[in-house]
Amino acid sequence: MTSILVISGSPSATSRTAALVERLADRLAQQEHRVRTVAVRELPAESLLAADAAEPRIAEVVAEIARADGLVVASPVYKAAYTGVLKSLLDLLPQFAFTGKVVLPLLTGGSPAHVLALDYALRPVLNSLGAHHVTQGYFVLDKLIQRTDTGITLAPEVESALLSIVDTFSAAVHRRHGELLAAS
């Protein structure tokens, strides 16, 4: 069975990004993946800022990244880029931490102008970490995500497109896992 690590770069536990990440993790689990979600905001801030990869909770996340077949990297957009919380984690990873991985970038934001952050802020970092394949990412406007008592509701046009992208990512992770098994 493949494993996927979902990394949430939202600094808020009640954010739309955090709720969206939970929804996507459930979808991926239904597609025969072992899924674990890491909220970067829950890691020790002092260790993140000091780039202390030896801190036990951070070391465990780094080890989980190494073991994962696929990664979902999600963040709200602040100041035309992904959050500083997420950047602090990405900055302390080894240079090629994403080697061999299939990666899905996902951003949320308040303006359509922020969609460019996918390709001009997040994707270059994911590629520089050595990702095997960065799949088509997705940007969701905040106003199209409604929090409910049981999770979120997405605008119909967003739900259809987003789930299609998640399903394509899922298939790419399964395919890559098969390639690696065949090669070994």
Tens digit of each residue's pLDDT, the chain (184 residues):
999 999 999 999 888 999 899 999 999 999 999 999 999 999 999 999 999 999 999 999 999 999 999 999 999 999 899 999 999 999 999 999 999 999 999 999 999 999 999 999 999 999 999 999 999 999 999 999 988 887 789 999 899 999 999 999 999 999 999 988 899 8
pLDDT of residue 184: 83
d(CA 127, CA 131): 5
CATH of the domain at 137: 3.40.50.360
Cα 72 to Cα 41, 47, 55, 65, 134, distances in angstroms: 16, 23, 23, 11, 10
The boundaries of the domain holding residue 95 are 2-183
Residues 73-95, buried b or exposed e (16+ Cβ, 10 A)? Answer: bbbbbbeebbbbbbbbbbebbee
Residues 5-26, buried b or exposed e (16+ Cβ, 10 A)? Answer: bbbbbbbeeebbbbbbbebbbe
116: exposed, middle or buried (Cβ count in 10 Å: 0-12, 13-18, 19+): middle
d(CA 142, CA 45): 26
Q: Look at the chain and report how many structural domains it folds into.
A: 1
Residue type for position 7: I
According to DSSP, residue 93 is labeled S
In 3-state terms, what secondary structure has residue 109? strand
d(CA 176, CA 4): 12
pLDDT of residue 98: 97
According to DSSP, residue 118 is labeled I
In 3-state terms, what secondary structure has residue 44? coil
